[in-house]
Structure 1
């Protein structure tokens, strides 16, 4: 990879990256000084409160405790201290773990995980509020770390108070609704003000793409991008396993070559190394002991051979995801990189190695610090922006009406649903018109557009036009109807402009509006707009709310 270039901005900036995981979280940051080459740094775990004796080199537990009034009382390693258990028992505190999974899209395949498997949320607290409280804590600790570890740290922070950028990572499977929740949580946490300028300083990146940037920064991943071959990045975390595939077009630019995957099969229950070694589960204090049940010093001893089957579903999920990526990727896969907290498991590494080596695939972990891959990679994503094209994971389009065709068998079956239009034409409702199809490679600057019309007899109905952007999740390569195919509303747009009356059936006066739906999916978030012409000039409207009105595909 070419070396990172000096920052060309006119004033100092600060970039924070928060990797909020199901079990552990971390922070990385970078000061951008004009003329200087940026250096990514991590907030050392020892600088977080009560973290001095907790394992790991860069992360804290994703745990937060609330009192009965909903006030935050302990976060991270503080929440794991013994006295906290007394407070929970005596004063009704609530200890929240795995709360991030409450944000998961309900559309994700997760039959093995239900809301009943996750600790319930405290009264009067949403998952978004918990995320906000946790990010506020990370931000406060990160700023304190900078103040204490860097010369003139306090002055440096004051100089970037209004120019700090935040990169927030999320699993590959998190979609528009979850991205909106993350943005709202960042505002609630006070990271940025609730203004267009403030929200523009929030940047989202998938954990898969952040991991790619980390692997590239490690220097070892570059060798995997040879001879037009592709690589797969497996980010194995506590709650999710994110799998992405890329290939290098022209250095240093990369393209996604398969729809990214996300599986809810992380190492959420146990840490496990080798089936030949025993595993220990700490559940009490050093005084807890029962030799008959292999309990000593507050730890339950289990045979490794008994624990290994518990992890087999996770390994199988990773293998299945890798094989799916290999199957749909547009380039031959030559290398697989394993990162994330679960990557530290020697058992998982060995299990995957035994599957991949016979397939003549290179398989490795970039280095011994895979747990910090997402946080550091998220900063590198902001600085280097290596990925120029991504693959659409779903088909996006809109509900509309389509002109009735008597020769189409499906139209004949729906003849009773036909609707006459003011112009004299007959249409069928509940049609689906795809704008962006699954598997399409989308560059950052490419737009996807489709034209539509709507006809009304009441001029006042033309003051506002709205249409839904629908996400189709089924397997059909050409979904045609929204009443028989699974879909969900993703986004909406609206538009108003001046139009002239027309004459239709039997001289009926009506109004026709012509507009286009425009989708942009070059970054990690889908953007939707409506486009129309007014006095020959194109106008556009950003996404807003849903209104019911029939539109037709042109």
Structure 2
């Protein structure tokens, strides 16, 4: 286990971490008492849970009635009387609803509209997330009250929430999570969200691996593969590369770090990767396989195919190990038989190779994402850890081991509750804070324009778009000025700053200014124009600066064109990316005032004031 120092805070505090997954969700927590060594625990008791005390997760299922009210959540939604009542009263059953929140830039051509159950009428994905988080909080509160007598009152107003999300989720999705926190009533809507911390599932999983594997005595004795390059050998003895593959229900997240063990510290060495190829997509491919195989039979009804798909998901998928052996779905009684469709004694026989093919896109996506990270990584990788619910698949593990072994990479999956890796790791993140620097996953900057330069071929090609600004100079629009480039390693205290100016015709127009922080996710190393790969640009947030006092100090200047008046405002745009959420500032000289707004507050482009 990772050695921890006693908590140095002055008052008791509760850390609650929510892992809301596509298929399963859970909560972990830690009571921080002054002078006591923190211990991470999991909520292991939920309503209607079969294995009391032995299961740390519940299904991410929620039932709504026709009025849009929540009727059953988690394990309760699997009870027979609930299912029967839902059918009688027309309730809406939601599962895999987290995929409605997915980042649009992630490759998702393999996802069809009917793959994800539609949301109830009048309900948004953010509202569903809020309802589910409210339920998780109630379960956590009940569990802590029952497990720790007289403790809840002392911490109910001192709670730190850590909420995890896939690696590929950025500003817009973080904004949705924070909005859901307010709707769920976890914090008052008028309260600052400083007690809410967002974290990628990849970094949470790293903390779990450090706590449960890397800090163990057995790990310290693991032999390290020696590089073929002598000049790298010395570096490897000091730092080693670690990749964590968090294979979940919806997404598969890969995070790469360099590791030092004395003292334990980590630095991200490549942009985090995120693939929409989790275990649910193996199940969806199985649904298509079954529908095609049984077409024209007495077993081809949508209800029967859905039943077989569910059985495949819960048993056949996890048991599959050998493509040269058949697999079976036991769905009926001894009377169910049809030799033409490989059905005997209530069992459907499937060719092992066909089952292996269902896993192939997910395996391929993991390998491609790993290779992408290796091309960007600054440190050779020695270890790869496989965690998450999908890690329970022996076939997935075997195929990845087959890939990593010839590379001399140690590949393993922790045997200690890998399905609670994210929730436990999220608490560890708050307590231990092991990652000291991160890598920018995209290029960030702002839209601007440039004075026209006839000697620049890029300007000449865009001459038809030119205009005259307030100072009388010809200018070219659609310029993108990068401030932070993709792949840049950023420490927590490092800031990235670029200077800009605007010119305006009237003093009244100078009382405020808004700047969009833009994100580029294309292939160019340093994009310069918005009209190239326009679809690769998106707006993360809008920063609004109140400049009324500054405007009173401005002096008019004369235009080059007609000697008319104009005003010039100089400012800096600052980006800080060392923490788990990106921050942006506008800075200008007026008694060194700074306008600061966090991106997650503004991802929906609301106009907010800050100073």
TM-score past 0.5 threshold: yes
2:521 match:
473
- Equivalents in 2 of 1:272, 1:2: separation in Å? 31
When the two chains are superposed, the root-mean-square deviation of aligned CA atoms in Å is: 2.2
Instruction: Work out whether residues 468 and 493 of structure 1, in 8 Å CA contact, stay in contact via their aligned partners in 2.
Output: yes
Offset, 1:493: 1.0
Please give the per-residue CA displacement for 1:399-448, whole angstroms capped at 9, x wherever unaligned: 10011111111111111222222333221111000011100011111111
Distance 1:296 1:21, change over 3 A: farther
1:38 match:
38
Instruction: Work out whether residues 468 and 546 of structure 1, in 8 Å CA contact, stay in contact via their aligned partners in 2.
Output: no
Distance 1:305 1:315, change over 3 A: same
Instruction: Work out whether residues 104 and 174 of structure 1, in 8 Å CA contact, stay in contact via their aligned partners in 2.
Output: yes
- Equivalents in 2 of 1:105, 1:377: separation in Å? 23
1:241 match:
252
Q: Find 1:404's aligned residue among 443, 452, 469.
A: 452
1:504 match:
559
Q: Find 1:318's aligned residue among 343, 348, 366.
A: 366
- Equivalents in 1 of 2:146, 2:171: separation in Å? 38
Is 1:251 aligned with 2:263? Answer: yes
2:108 match:
110
- Equivalents in 1 of 2:237, 2:109: separation in Å? 39
Distance 1:12 1:300, change over 3 A: farther
Please give the per-residue CA displacement for 1:203-225, whole angstroms capped at 9, x wherever unaligned: 11100000000000013366478
2:288 match:
none
2:304 match:
none
Is 1:195 aligned with 2:151? Answer: no
2:576 match:
520
Q: Which is worse superposed, 104-113 or 226-235?
A: 226-235
Distance 1:186 1:116, change over 3 A: same
Q: Find 1:215's aligned residue among 188, 209, 213.
A: 209
Instruction: Work out whether residues 160 and 195 of structure 2, in 8 Å CA contact, stay in contact via their aligned partners in 1.
Output: yes
Offset, 1:352: 0.5
Distance 1:290 1:426, change over 3 A: same
Instruction: Work out whether residues 336 and 346 of structure 2, in 8 Å CA contact, stay in contact via their aligned partners in 1.
Output: no
Q: Which is worse superposed, 20-29 or 242-251?
A: 242-251
2:49 match:
51
Instruction: Work out whether residues 473 and 487 of structure 1, in 8 Å CA contact, stay in contact via their aligned partners in 2.
Output: yes
Q: Find 1:463's aligned residue among 501, 511, 530.
A: 511
- Equivalents in 1 of 2:13, 2:565: separation in Å? 59
Offset, 1:227: 3.8
Is 1:362 aligned with 2:410? Answer: yes
Is 1:183 aligned with 2:238? Answer: no
Q: Which is worse superposed, 355-364 or 293-302?
A: 293-302
1:272 match:
318
Instruction: Work out whether residues 288 and 295 of structure 1, in 8 Å CA contact, stay in contact via their aligned partners in 2.
Output: no
Alignment of 1:20-35 (within 5 A): 20-35=20-35
1:552 match:
none
Q: Which is worse superposed, 18-27 or 360-369?
A: 360-369
Instruction: Work out whether residues 479 and 530 of structure 2, in 8 Å CA contact, stay in contact via their aligned partners in 1.
Output: yes
Please give the per-residue CA displacement for 1:481-508, whole angstroms capped at 9, x wherever unaligned: 1122320111111221222212232422
- Equivalents in 2 of 1:534, 1:261: separation in Å? 41
Alignment of 1:278-427 (within 5 A): 279=327, 290-292=336-338, 302-427=350-475
Is 1:123 aligned with 2:121? Answer: yes
Offset, 1:29: 0.5
- Equivalents in 2 of 1:135, 1:230: separation in Å? 35
Distance 1:102 1:375, change over 3 A: same
Instruction: Work out whether residues 2 and 210 of structure 2, in 8 Å CA contact, stay in contact via their aligned partners in 1.
Output: no
Give the secondary structure class of the aligned counterpart of 2:49.
coil
Give the secondary structure class of the aligned counterpart of 1:36.
coil
Give the secondary structure class of the aligned counterpart of 2:542.
strand
2:286 match:
none
Q: Find 1:164's aligned residue among 149, 153, 159.
A: 159
Instruction: Work out whether residues 448 and 479 of structure 2, in 8 Å CA contact, stay in contact via their aligned partners in 1.
Output: yes
- Equivalents in 2 of 1:510, 1:517: separation in Å? 22
Distance 1:185 1:287, change over 3 A: farther
Give the secondary structure class of the aligned counterpart of 2:475.
strand
Offset, 1:303: 4.7
2:293 match:
none
Instruction: Work out whether residues 318 and 392 of structure 2, in 8 Å CA contact, stay in contact via their aligned partners in 1.
Output: no
Offset, 1:281: 5.2
Q: Find 2:486's aligned residue among 433, 438, 463.
A: 438
Please give the per-residue CA displacement for 1:509-528, whole angstroms capped at 9, x wherever unaligned: 11000111111111121111
1:550 match:
none
Please give the per-residue CA displacement for 1:75-116, whole angstroms capped at 9, x wherever unaligned: 111111222332232211011010000000111111101333
Distance 1:109 1:161, change over 3 A: same
- Equivalents in 1 of 2:70, 2:458: separation in Å? 58
Instruction: Work out whether residues 440 and 485 of structure 2, in 8 Å CA contact, stay in contact via their aligned partners in 1.
Output: yes
Is 1:96 aligned with 2:151? Answer: no
Offset, 1:467: 1.2
1:8 match:
8
Please give the per-residue CA displacement for 1:15-51, whole angstroms capped at 9, x wherever unaligned: 111101000111100000000000000111xx21111
- Equivalents in 1 of 2:530, 2:459: separation in Å? 14
Q: Find 2:538's aligned residue among 488, 495, 520.
A: 488
2:302 match:
none
> Which consecutive residues of structure 1, in runs of 5 or more, have no partner in the other structure?
548-554
Offset, 1:157: 0.9
Distance 1:274 1:167, change over 3 A: same
- Equivalents in 2 of 1:119, 1:368: separation in Å? 33
Q: Which is worse superposed, 299-308 or 487-496?
A: 299-308
2:306 match:
none
Distance 1:464 1:546, change over 3 A: farther
2:19 match:
19
